[in-house]
């Protein structure tokens, strides 16, 4: 039905010189309706559709396409696509697409990452076509179809990461639980030995005294291991944060009081800078403490003896920021991409779960964590906590 309709229109256009003013007006109205229909159809499509010539100038763009590349409607016909989206220019070199190559590979399909006008992951299809000209000739060009797959990619990545984290947490919890059984057995037997030694309290034998001291050391170490396992299970078990009004700086002060002796013993200088007073945020103070402890502990181990730890607090319309900058050994580019992976560590005694736990806690608080590092210079860890009442950002 559609083909007969358009073939009829072609016949009319073929006899346009014979039309009188009335029929010509009817034809113009019909052409206008056809154009509006096509525009409505193309603008309904959620994928970006662009038509470009051999020079890369955008000759047509539907609404989704203009939105994806940040193009104003008035600039269609005069703006080169490569100027608007340099990422596409790096991905596709039109000069390399000769006529013979077009015939061999008529469709180009690839996935690219765009950073303008916002960060997107886009699946691109590019098909050569002939663009009709006013003189009846046709020039080379391309139809470019852009499909935004950012949300699908990120949700898949996050789902895989969450599944991997969950499996690691379950495994770690099982191992910690199994360690608790022999510790309980050790505790019972040490208690039995303690009772037997109490029966020898009146005996003045140096061996008994040494044995009593050794027993106390063993009991202390077992208790310490039990506390480590308890705290470890509390840290890795997925727990909904108990959200309350929390003063981030007050929690930091509590952590620094505990870590202070270690920092002083290692000769590490600590400075805390605040651009302005931070408002309270909705957070779980115990989980925030866990985040601070892990970050500061990593900084101490990276710096060794001496060094400087700078903690900076600042604020914008959306987030409260805390930056921890150490003067340690830094992290290589290769290792930096794996910092949040479970069991990844560059330390001989590290378990590789600390930063994974930190990232999980920040996500559950609706916040973010980022790391910048240079080998031999140091590392900067930035925490972003969402404000309770986000201030409206005024347009210029």
Distance CA 145, CA 89 (A): 15
- Same domain (yes/no): 250, 376: yes
Q: What is the pLDDT of residue 343?
A: 62
Burial degree of 246 (CB within 10 A; 0-12, 13-18, 19+): buried
**267 and 378 in a common domain:** yes
> What confidence score (pLDDT) does residue 241 get?
81
Quick one: three-class SS letters along 133-178?
CCCCCEEEEEEEEEEECHHHHHHHHHHHHHHHHHHHHHHHHHHHHH
Q: Please, are residues 307 and 264 in contact by the beta-carbon 8 Å criterion? A: no
Question: What pLDDT is stored for residue 252 in this prediction?
Answer: 92
Instruction: Tell me how far apart the alpha carbons of residues 181 and 55 are, in angstroms, rounded to a whole number.
Output: 73
Structure confidence at residue 4 (pLDDT): 46
CB 314 within 8 A of CB 379: no
Contact 328, 307 (CB under 8 A): yes
Report how far residue 386's alpha carbon sits from residue 316's, in angstroms, rounded to the nearest whole number.
Answer: 10
Rounding to the nearest 10 degrees, give the CA dihedral for residues 187, 190, 192, 195.
-120
Residues 11 and 108 in one domain: no
What's the burial of 7, exposed, middle or buried (CB within 10 Å: 0-12/13-18/19+)? Answer: exposed
Residue 258 lies in a domain: yes
Nearest to 326 by CA among 271, 379, 372: 379
**Pairing label, strands 108-114, 308-315:** unpaired
What span, in angstroms and rounded, lies between the C-alpha atoms of 386 and 365? 8
Q: What is the pLDDT along the chain (396 residues), one digit of tens a residue?
A: 444 444 555 555 556 666 677 777 777 788 788 888 888 888 888 899 999 888 888 999 999 989 888 888 888 988 888 777 776 666 665 545 544 444 444 567 777 777 777 778 888 888 888 777 766 676 778 888 998 888 777 666 666 666 666 676 667 667 776 777 788 788 888 888 888 888 777 667 778 778 888 888 888 888 878 776 776 666 566 577 888 899 999 999 988 988 888 888 888 888 888 877 888 898 988 889 989 998 998 888 888 788 899 999 988 888 889 999 998 888 887 777 777 776 666 665 555 667 888 888 888 888 888 888 888 888 899 999 988 765 444 444
- pLDDT at position 250, please? 92
* Same domain membership, residue 212 and residue 168: yes
Instruction: Provide the pLDDT for residue 49.
Output: 92
Distance CA 60, CA 35 (A): 13
Q: Identify whether residues 220 and 342 lie together within a single domain.
A: no
CA 79, CA 52: separation in Å to the nearest integer? Answer: 10
Could you say which of 189, 205, 236 is where a domain stops? 236
| Full residue range of the structural domain in which residue 214 is found | 154-236
Specify the pairing of strand 269-274 against strand 308-315.
parallel
* b/e per residue 205-243 (b: at least 16 CB within 10 A): eeeeeeebeebeebbeebeeebeebeebeebbeeeebeb
85 and 173 assigned to the same domain: no
* Residues 167, 354, 333: CA angle, nearest 5 degrees: 100
Report pLDDT for 87: 62
β-pairing, 108-114 vs 120-132, is: antiparallel
- Are residues 184 and 141 part of one domain? no
Is the residue at 170 inside a domain? Answer: yes
- The enclosing domain of 378 has a CATH number of 3.30.565.10
Is residue 393 domain-resident? no
Domain boundary among 148, 177, 202: 148
- State phi, psi for 323 to the nearest 5 degrees: -110, 130
Q: Which of 236, 271, 302 is the last residue of a domain?
A: 236
pLDDT given for residue 223 in this prediction: 82
Residue 394 belongs to some domain of the structure: no
Does residue 38 sit in the same domain as residue 51? no
If asked whether residues 102 and 142 sit together in one domain, one would say yes
The pLDDT, as a whole number, for residue 80 is 86
Quote the number of domains for the chain.
4
Same domain, residue pair 253 and 283: yes
HSE-CB at 49 with a 13 A cutoff on CA atoms is 11
Q: Assign residue 273 a region (left: φ > 0; alpha: ψ between -120 and 50; beta: otherwise).
A: beta
End-to-end CA, the chain: 53
Q: Which residues contact 186 (CB under 8 A, 6 or more apart)?
A: 218, 222
CATH (domain of 63): 3.30.450.20
> Do 197 and 327 have their domain in common?
no
- Specify the DSSP class assigned to residue 338: T
Q: How much is the pLDDT for 383?
A: 92
Q: Is residue 370 part of a domain?
A: yes
CA atoms in the 13 A half-sphere facing the CB of 26: 8
The reported pLDDT for the residue numbered 2 is: 45
Q: Is residue 301 located within the same domain as residue 249?
A: yes
- Radius of gyration for the chain, computed over Cα atoms and rounded to the nearest angstrom: 34
């Amino acid at each position: 039905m559609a083909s007969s309709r358009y073939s009829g229109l072609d016949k009319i256009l073929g006899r346009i010189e014979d039309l009188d003013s009335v029929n010509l007006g009817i034809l113009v109205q019909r052409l206008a309706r056809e154009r509006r229909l096509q525009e409505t159809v193309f603008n309904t499509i959620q994928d970006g559709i662009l038509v470009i010539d051999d020079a890369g100038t955008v000759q047509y763009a539907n609404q989704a396409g203009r939105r994806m590349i940040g193009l104003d409607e008035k600039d269609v016909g005069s703006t080169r696509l490569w100027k608007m989206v340099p990422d596409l220019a790096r991905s596709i070199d039109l000069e390399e697409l000769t006529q013979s190559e077009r015939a061999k590979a008529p469709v180009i399909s690839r996935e690219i990452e765009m950073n303008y006008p916002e960060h997107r992951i886009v699946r691109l299809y590019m098909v050569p076509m002939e663009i009709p000209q006013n003189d009846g000739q046709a020039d080379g060009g391309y139809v470019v179809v852009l499909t935004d797959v950012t949300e699908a990619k990120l949700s898949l990545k996050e789902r895989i990461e969450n599944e991997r984290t969950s499996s690691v947490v379950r495994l770690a919890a099982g191992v910690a639980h199994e360690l608790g059984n022999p510790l309980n057995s050790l505790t019972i037997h040490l208690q039995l030995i303690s009772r037997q030694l109490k029966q020898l309290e009146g005996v003045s034998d140096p061996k008994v005294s040494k044995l009593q001291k050794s027993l106390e050391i063993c009991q202390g170490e077992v208790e310490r291991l039990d506390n480590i396992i308890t705290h470890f299970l509390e840290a890795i078990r997925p727990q909904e944060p108990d959200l309350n009004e929390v003063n981030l700086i007050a929690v930091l002060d509590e952590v620094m009081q505990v870590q202070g002796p270690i920092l002083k013993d290692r000769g590490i200088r600590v400075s805390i800078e605040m651009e302005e007073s931070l408002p309270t945020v909705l957070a779980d103070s115990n989980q925030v403490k866990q985040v601070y402890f892990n970050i500061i502990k990593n900084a101490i181990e990276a710096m060794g003896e001496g060094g400087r730890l700078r903690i900076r607090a600042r604020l914008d319309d959306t987030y409260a920021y805390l930056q921890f900058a150490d003067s340690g050994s830094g992290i290589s580019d290769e290792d930096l991409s794996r910092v949040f992976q479970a069991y990844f560590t560059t330390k001989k005694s590290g378990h590789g779960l600390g930063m994974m736990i930190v990232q999980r806690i920040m996500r559950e608080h609706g916040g973010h964590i980022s790391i910048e590092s240079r080998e031999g210079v140091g590392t900067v860890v930035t925490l972003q906590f969402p404000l309770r009442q986000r201030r409206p950002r005024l347009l210029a």
